[in-house]
Amino acid sequence: MTLTSCIFLVAKFIALPMDCRKLMSISFSPGDAVFFVHPQHSWVRGSVISVEKDSATCKVEDKERKEVQQGETIAKVKSDGIEMFHNECLDDAKHDDLLHLSVLHEATLLRCLYLRYMTDVIYTNIGAIVVALNPFNYEIPRYKDDRMSKFLALGKHFDKVPNHGLYPHSWACAHNTYFEMVENSENQCVLISGESGAGKTEATKIVMKYLAGVSCLGGTADEKKHSDGVGAKLTACSPILECFGNAKTVRNDNSSRFGKFMEVKFNGQGRLVGAFTTKYLLEKSRIITASEGERVYHSFYVALRGKYKGHLQFESESTYVSVNSGKCLTNKEYDTADDFEEVCDAMKKVGMSDDEVKSVWHIPAAILNLLNVGLLEDKAEREFSTFDDKTQKFLVQAAKLLYVSDQDLLKELLYFVRTTPDGDIVSRTSTDGAIDARNALCKHMYDGVFAWLVEKCNETCDAQSQGNWIGLLDIFGFEDFKLNSFEQLCINLTNETLQGHYNNFIFNKDMAECRAEGIDVADIISPDNTKCIQMLTGQGGVIPLLDECCAIDKSTDFTFLDKVDTAHSKNTFYGKNKTSRDTFFVRHYAGDVTYTITSWIEKNKDTLRDQMKLLIRRSTDKIVAQSLPLPVPKEQQKGKAPTVGGFFALQLRSLMEKINATNPHWIRCVKPHPAKKALHFDGVMTMKQLESSGVLGTVKIRKAGYPVRIQNENFLKKYRVCVTVSTADPMARIESVLTNAGVSDKKFSQKGRTKVFLKTEALTRLERFRDECLKEIASTLQRIGYGYIDRKKCFLQYVEKHRAELLRQKKEREERERAEREAEERAKREAEEKARLLREAEERRRKREEQKLQEKKNSAAICMQRYVRGGLCRLRVFRQVLEETRAKFEAQREAQFVEERRAARAIDAKRQASEKQWISWLNNVDHLKKKNSVDQQRQVKHDEQKRRINVRELCRKEDEDRQALDAEEAHDRQALMVRCEMLASHKKYLRDQETRAKKMFETQTNPLHSATRAPPPTANHRSARSDARTKEILSDYAASRAKAFEDFFPPPPPKNTFAALSDLSQQRGTPGRPSDFGSRERFQVAKDRWVAQDQYLESHVMPTPVARPRSGPTVSQPPSQQHLDEMYSGPHRTVGATMQHSLDSGQAATRATPRRLDQEPPWLAAQPTSPAPSVQNKRGGTDLRSAIDWDAVFNA
């Protein structure tokens, strides 16, 4: 339990004596935990070592700041550079909005930004401001483009979704800006600022990309496509403006040297339709030269290295003065030929033709050559200038690129026309005048082509819309260099004006919160920089006085400075350096800036002679001519000549009018370290940027009011130890705490409806008063705690002794129980051992008996195996001998076939030779018959091939049917033989019975003849009944076979052609049935077989099988696969050749039957023309039982 929790627990029950009227001092004392200003690291955490009158000595104790030396002692830290450290500051980094901190000042602000930055959290909200620290790392996962979908998914309910878990980001700022525009129908603006290298341009791209994405939500496909197209055009404009408007500086490799305000336009449905860009204050001096370590604009370097360098006739880079002025030729951005190609592609995307692209690059090339033109002092007349002949080629090349005469160009540089009442006077220019004229020409042409490019981008991207727009302001940050000139004054004036706008907006918002809480804000004074702005731009201000001096010809820079001193010497925002004659300083909101007035009048005039303008306007190149405006005729000139400062003040006034008419949002970009490396942090540099960007203005506004704001419940929870009243009213308890601490006065604190508003001094007093209360409570707790600890110690000693006595008694009891238990276990083990021995003896006896029985079984099994294996072996040997005999028989039969195959191959060779002769003869005949058409020959071949295929198919089907019929006949023959043997046995038995009966009869009737043996009966003496029965059985069987034969084979076809047989087979739809001729032949074989069997029954003579040649398949023997392959192989390409081969081979299966030779068979030709009537069966065939004389077949 911690000390604080003990205090909260006990304070409810203990009455604490307090001197409520005692007031604590707000001065620091040794040992206090504080924040103090370190000379190298700005605000760091530490402790006070000693205190002096107006300062203190502090020790660094900040383990979170890695770059700080721990334990370092810093002496003479001023009192305004020390702030109390509170425990609430330990969790400050967890807040995404630092205005939610209970204590807000510069130290806590810097500490929170540091802790978040070192954990890759670069965005932090401070009220309406999004502070973005440049990470110099594009690989942070939470900030990649794929995470943008989480913001887009919330839609317009972004602020209404509780715990949406989305962190501060430029996406969040763009999201809120867009939906405030849509819901309120009010124009918005996002003001993006920061010093060079802080990431302003990237932040603008991020916001622009998000606006393009969020405007497509819920839109149709066409709307999304249009928005994507507008986004692509805006993206294409970026590299063009960066190439011509950005340059490398010491702080940033791609620093924007101009300001721009982009109006992103939307239609009534919130869809992106276009954008319009306005440029501000291009830094023209960088066109001529650059400081050491810097470069002029990117366009000059990419032009020297791009694909047009041959067309532009460039020499080596070291030749040109301007690009080498900064002694830095390389850069990470816009430095290679690929970058040049990217810019050219972007120009084409915005609608520029190839000729326009080339013309644009003529101007940077001409400027490089012009700045190399030598203008020297004339030796004869030193007050005038002359031309250096050594630089003649640069003058000629510049004039060629500008499409003007080189002599006219040189004349305008060396001479000028002065208008007098008596007429125009041509005078020679001085050396400085000639150089100024050349530089002015280069500046105005480059500014003109840059303005033309901006206008071209606007023509491509702009669109008329009745909806609202969102303005994106990308402007220079506050600048304070060693040498600050007129450009820095204009930049700082812009930031001063924007800071005034920000102060008014934030202060009014803060005061609105105070009024909502019921706080009296009458005495709170807002930070105001209006007087500083008036001193610079108001009546009699710095810029109007500069314009006034420019209108007077003989005015100098010192004349201007004297007028400024006279007008503003008593102004608190103005100061004069006594040690410097040509400087003055202005007290800006971000600090004092000293300005050097050298060449201010010249820079403010920024004039170009009319003759020079007319020369360029006469150029034949359209873009070169448009880079400079026409001179204003004298009769149209009214009032003073326009100046840069006056024009800029007018632009700034127009810009502020637009911003004041919108709802503003801020993104402040900060560069955390000059080395431009990731996770490097410079506290002094960061604080300076926070101050210059106006972020600390929020803290100052809070300090002007009540910077410490604590919720009522949190206040009572923290300071409840200081409450002396016993009431449940929270306001009364708060009042009690404030009164006891002596800060109840209005100048220290006020009570709101939900918050307590405190000054910093009041918070310090409250903390000290709380510490005193905690000390008194701690002493009381110590007294109670020490007494409790001593009593607990005595009690523990008694308990220890009692436990020892109980332990001794327990051990004695356990010893007795152990001895008794061991005796019982010993007796039990002996009984178990005896029983085990008996069981083992019985087990051994049983195993011996089982072993003997098993041996007897094994012996019997061996005997049985011997007999069984002998029988199996003899059977296996018998089968082996049988297989060998069968193989020997097959080998003998195969040997008989070898000679027949040899003869067949000889016949096949003769056939092939005859075929070759036949083919040769046919070729000669075809040569003679050239008049026949090719189509007719093809048709003949096709028909022949078709007939050949039909014949082969019919032959194949006939052979298959033969094979099937032979197999069936073999089965029937076997069954018949069995039946015949049975009949023969029965007949023999009857005959024997009859013989025995006769012998018995003869013996009984005539004993005299008993010794004489009668001769055996012959066939003539057989019983008529037996013969009749046999014939009846055979007739029934033959009739059943004939019926099956009739059902299977159709009657013979009526036609006598071979083609008719094919047609008949196709009409019946029964392909594969054998021909009628084959059926007759098989029937004849069956008939002969029946006759032979009947003869066997009559005379006991075995039928002789019909001998058939084995050289080929027969009617009853299916053809082998080898025989079919030989018969229908490749050489038999024609029907005639196949028939010839069959006739030559002499084989029965392939003999040329009459039907195959397209002739009628003899038995069909011998039939009468009018066939005898036949009976049709159920299947449409002829009933052979009425057509065949079966009695003649089975004649006894």
**Segment 420-438, tens digit of pLDDT:** 667 677 888 888 888 989 9
Answer yes or no: is 200 a known binding residue: yes
Say which residue, 311 or 915, is predicted with more confidence.
311
d(CA 51, CA 39): 19
Q: Is the pLDDT of residue 391 over 60?
A: yes
Q: Is the pLDDT of residue 21 over 50?
A: no
Q: Is the pLDDT of residue 90 over 80?
A: no
Q: Are 102 and 714 in contact (CB under 8 A)?
A: yes
pLDDT band at 828 (very low <50, low <70, confident <90, very high): very high
Least trusted range by pLDDT, from 119-123, 841-845, 909-913, 1077-1081: 1077-1081
Q: Are 106 and 687 in contact (CB under 8 A)?
A: yes
Using alpha carbons only, what angle is made at residue 912 by residues 907 and 918, rounded to the nearest 5 degrees? 125
d(CA 1144, CA 1135): 14
Q: Are 757 and 708 in contact (CB under 8 A)?
A: yes
Whole-prediction pTM? 0.60
Residue 176 neighbours by CB distance under 10 Å = 18
- Lookup: tokens for 1169: 């023309």
Answer yes or no: is 1174 a known binding residue: no
Task: List the chain domain ranges.
Answer: 708-790, 934-1002+1028-1193
Q: What is the DSSP string of 301-346?
A: HHHHHSTTTTTTT---GGG-TTTTTTS----SSS-SHHHHHHHHHH
d(CA 455, CA 239): 15
Answer yes or no: is 195 a known binding residue: yes
φ and ψ of 16, to 5 deg? -105, 120
φ and ψ of 324, to 5 deg? -100, 5
Say which residue, 1120 or 829, is predicted with more confidence.
829
- Helix, strand or coil for residue 264? strand
- Helix, strand or coil for residue 1074? coil
d(CA 328, CA 323): 8
d(CA 858, CA 862): 6
- Helix, strand or coil for residue 472? strand
Q: What mean pLDDT is reported for the chain?
A: 78
Nearest-CA neighbor of 368 among 402, 321, 415, 428?
321
Tracing tokens 């009468």 back to the chain, one arrives at 1168
pLDDT band at 1038 (very low <50, low <70, confident <90, very high): low
Q: Is the pLDDT of residue 899 over 90?
A: no
Nearest-CA neighbor of 484 among 594, 326, 598?
594
- Helix, strand or coil for residue 622? helix
Residue 1043, pLDDT score: 60
Answer yes or no: is 194 a known binding residue: yes
Burial of 250 (0-12, 13-18, 19+ CB in 10 A): middle
Residue 241, pLDDT score: 92
Mean pLDDT score, 1021-1025: 55
Burial of 1152 (0-12, 13-18, 19+ CB in 10 A): middle
Task: Compute CA distances 1113 → 293, 494, 886, 891, 1144, whole Å.
Answer: 109, 117, 22, 19, 16
Burial pattern 199-227, b for ≥16 Cβ within 10 A else e, equals bbbbbbbbbbbbbbbbbbeebeeebbebb
- Lookup: tokens for 562: 């004297």
| Sign of the torsion formed by the C-alpha atoms of 928, 932, 934 and 939 | negative
Residue 132, pLDDT score: 93
Answer yes or no: is 197 a known binding residue: yes
Mean pLDDT score, 19-40: 67
Extract the runs of DSSP E, i.e. beta strands, from 159-318: 188-193, 246-247, 255-256, 259-266, 272-280
d(CA 136, CA 674): 11
- Lookup: tokens for 656: 């502020």
Q: What is the DSSP string of 71-132?
A: T-EEEEEEGGGEEE--GGGGGGGG-SBGGG-SS-SHHHHHHHHHHHHHTT--EEEETTEEEE
d(CA 12, CA 781): 13
Q: Are 395 and 409 in contact (CB under 8 A)?
A: yes
Answer yes or no: is 749 a known binding residue: no
Q: What is the DSSP string of 796-864?
A: HHHHHHHHHHHHHHHHHHHHHHHHHHHHHHHHHHHHHHHHHHHHHHHHHHHHHHHHHHHHHHHHHHHHH
**Segment 838-861, tens digit of pLDDT:** 999 999 999 999 999 999 999 988
Residue 1175, pLDDT score: 43
Mean pLDDT score, 205-210: 90
Name the CA dihedral angle for 444, 446, 448, 454, rounded to a multiple of 10 degrees.
-150
What is the DSSP secondary structure assignment for residue 639, as one 8-state letter? S
Q: Is the pLDDT of residue 949 over 80?
A: yes
Mean pLDDT score, 687-694: 82
H/E run at residue 594: strand 591-596
d(CA 1017, CA 1023): 10
**Segment 342-371, tens digit of pLDDT:** 999 999 999 999 999 999 999 999 999 999
Say which residue, 948 or 1191, is predicted with more confidence.
948
Q: Is the pLDDT of residue 554 over 50?
A: yes
Beta bridge partners of 755: 711
| Sign of the torsion formed by the C-alpha atoms of 482, 487, 490 and 491 | negative
Answer yes or no: is 199 a known binding residue: yes
Mean pLDDT score, 553-566: 89
CATH topology of domain 708-790: Alpha-Beta Plaits (3.30.70)
Burial of 400 (0-12, 13-18, 19+ CB in 10 A): middle
Answer yes or no: is 127 a known binding residue: no
- Lookup: tokens for 1136: 């005639």
Residue 1136 neighbours by CB distance under 10 Å = 12
d(CA 436, CA 688): 37
Mean pLDDT score, 282-307: 92
Beta bridge partners of 274: 265
Q: Is the pLDDT of residue 933 over 80?
A: no
What is the DSSP secondary structure assignment for residue 637, as one 8-state letter? -
Beta bridge partners of 58: 48, 74
Q: Is the pLDDT of residue 340 over 70?
A: yes
